[in-house]
Structure 1
Amino acid sequence: MHLTYLTATATPSPTTSSDTTEELAKEAAKWWNFLLGAPLTIAIIIAVSLIVLMILRKLINKVTDKLANGVNDIETSGGSERTRALRAMNPLVNARRAQRSRTIGSVLRSVASLLIGTIAVLLILDQLNVNIAPILASASVVGVALGFGAQSLVKDFLSGIFLILEDQYGVGDNVEIGDVSGTVESIALRITKVRDSHGTLWYLRNGEVLKVGNKTHGWAMATVEVKVPYDSDLAEVRAALKNVAATVKKRKDIAASLRGDVKISGIESMSSSAVALNVQVKTLPARQWEVARVLREEIRAEFESQELKLAD
């Protein structure tokens, strides 16, 4: 009896093929359900994020290219086709518009990438059953800490964005910012570079730009003060200045830079020895100094021909 019991207990029970097939089917179904779950959702999230980012970048590039190559209303309004073409070909205006569009495009692309990337990471973590609430809380704390620690840097960047979007000044503009006066050479999100008349390059933090005087935005005014002796015949002086206005308007070298007729003002100031009148004309941006020089040349030549004298 003892031997019979050992023999019976030592004999293994046979495994049927149906059991093996059932186990394989369960394992396959388990892996299939897994692949159709989190991994597939994560892959879809990544694919959709990349597609959306690519579409946004193309749209941003298209808009910025239009800004870079377009011509604004100020440059195209009024004048003949030749005049409008000359204005559109102004290198200062083109450089300003191109840099502005590049900067705006760079900011928009960075914001789009950061926003879509953050949303995608949070969705992926949620699919992996990671509790994102502590992460969001930690990010908020870190953001507040960085905000307090880098207030000036954040202020510079935000100010730079608004300076560019509002088009307060651009490359080639002659500006006065605080006690600095000169030509803008470049604008970045954090600093603006201004070259003064002595050749010094100034680096100005955008967050410290509180007041800006732009001498070359939209249009400019060429003004020349003419002082004549107190006892001069003002009718003769005004007649001579009108001849100057007619001559200047016919000069081909500056005709495209003028945006109106030359105006002669009344008496602007006077003293016991002199009377001052102003000769003014509206010009294209950054052209007022060249036009003013031409006005002085023509005034000198006309006064010499009419034997009129200038006051000291």
Structure 2
Amino acid sequence: MPFAPALTVDGLVHVSVTVALIVLVAVVLRFVVNRVIGHVAAGAGVPGMLSLLRRRRGVSDADRIEAFGSARRAQRARTVGSVIRNAATILIFGTASMMVLSQFGVNLAPVLASAGVLGLAIGFGAQNLVKDFLSGIFMLLEDQYGVGDHVDLGDAVGTIERVGLRTTTVRDVAGMVWYVRNGTIERVGNGSQDHAVAVVDVPLALDTDITRAAATAEQAATAGIDEYGHGPDVLRKPQVLGVESLSSSGMTLRLTAMTKPGRQWAVQRSMTEHVVAALRADDVVLAA
């Protein structure tokens, strides 16, 4: 790695000042970039937008919070901001290091060539790692799921406990914790976005008066929600969809209720308990 001839005193002073300026500019630039990224990730511009929406559209606070300020979006923004800050730091200080070396007369061509070969070798040896990392970034950007969501990732079904750039941690209903590499996830079923649906299927005998049974079941489902205090969790009152299936042994009556994400199971249990009790009290025969 050839160096330039020995520097004179004046040349050494010039190089020292130049190097100091390069380092100073790199530090200041990194500070500014990190601050900008931090403000963007934290949603520093949202209050102004909310004020504008308040004046022009008259939307409610709940609508504004739902549109701009959900906790999951904030978490995703912080994660993506951290990734961008790390990338910006590597780029800034990497460029500054090259500039400092050039001031001392270091020939950068062999260094860049060696770095290119090394990067190529690492790329071939860490394809899965790169795939997992890129998949994690796109997953965060697209908001496919977040902590607390109930998801079906194919091999793992359960509640998300941690979302990373390389792996996602899922705890299933039996308490087993699954560590799923982001690069292996081909599909995502998310049951916790926007809303959920509590579904109750009631097996009835073939000779059941379906009109009377449906009215009884709908009233009982509503009463169950009220008795157990699930009113705030229900976005749309229970309704009877009708006969879902028919067989030689009986038919299935289906009721549904739209709920908040993650609350469908509690609402479903309350509805089922009251519907079954009310139908039996009304002498409606349930199929085996």
* Matched residue, 2:194: 218
Aligned to 2:51: none
What SS class does the counterpart of residue 280 from structure 1 fall into?
strand
Q: Quote the RMSD (CA, aligned, Å).
A: 2.9
Match in the other structure for 2:52: none
Q: Which residue of 2 aligns with 1:64?
A: 41
TM-score in terms of structure 2 length: 0.82
Are the structure 2 counterparts of residues 172 and 239 from structure 1 closer, same or farther at C-alpha, using a change threshold of 3 Å? same
Q: Which residue of 2 aligns with 1:40?
A: 17
Please show how residues 189-200 of structure 1 align to structure 2 within 5 Å: 189-200=165-176
Q: Which region of structure 1 is more displaced relative to structure 2, 251-260 or 50-59?
A: 251-260
Normalised by the size of structure 1, how large is the TM-score? 0.76
**Aligned-partner SS, 1:156:** helix
Taking every aligned residue pair, what percent have the same amino acid on both sides?
40
Runs of 5+ in structure 2 lacking a partner?
1-7, 48-59
Bigger Rg, which one: 1
How far 1:285 sits from its partner (Å)? 1.0
Matched, 1:128 2:128: no
**Cα 1:275–1:300 shift into 2, 3 Å:** same
Higher relative contact order (CA 8 A, sep 6+): 2
1:246-296 CA-partner distances (Å, limit 9, x unpaired): 435645721221222322112211112211121111211111101101111
Gaps of 5+ in 1: 1-29, 71-79
When residues 87 and 300 of structure 1 are mapped into structure 2, their CA distance, relative to the original with a 3 A threshold, is farther
Alignment of 1:219-234 (within 5 A): 219-234=195-210
Distance 1:182 1:245 in 2: 27
User: Is the alpha carbon distance of 1:249 and 1:103 closer, same or farther for their aligned partners in structure 2, counting shifts above 3 Å?
Assistant: same
CA–CA separation in structure 2 for the residues paired with 1:263 and 1:124: 72
Matched, 1:202 2:181: no
Distance 1:239 1:215 in 2: 29
Letter in 1 for 2:217: L
Give the direction of change, closer, same or farther, for the CA distance of 1:199–1:246 in structure 2 (3 Å limit): closer
Q: 1:163 to 1:139 in 2, by over 3 A?
A: same
Q: 1:53 aligns with which of 30, 43, 48?
A: 30
Deviation track 1:219-271 (CA, whole Å, cap 9, x = no partner) reads 21111111111001111012113323543564572122122232211221111
| 1:129-183 CA-partner distances (Å, limit 9, x unpaired) | 3222222221111111100111111111111222222221111111122222111
Distance in 1 of aligned mates of 2:65 and 2:84:
31
Query: What count of residue pairs does the alignment treat as equivalent?
Result: 267
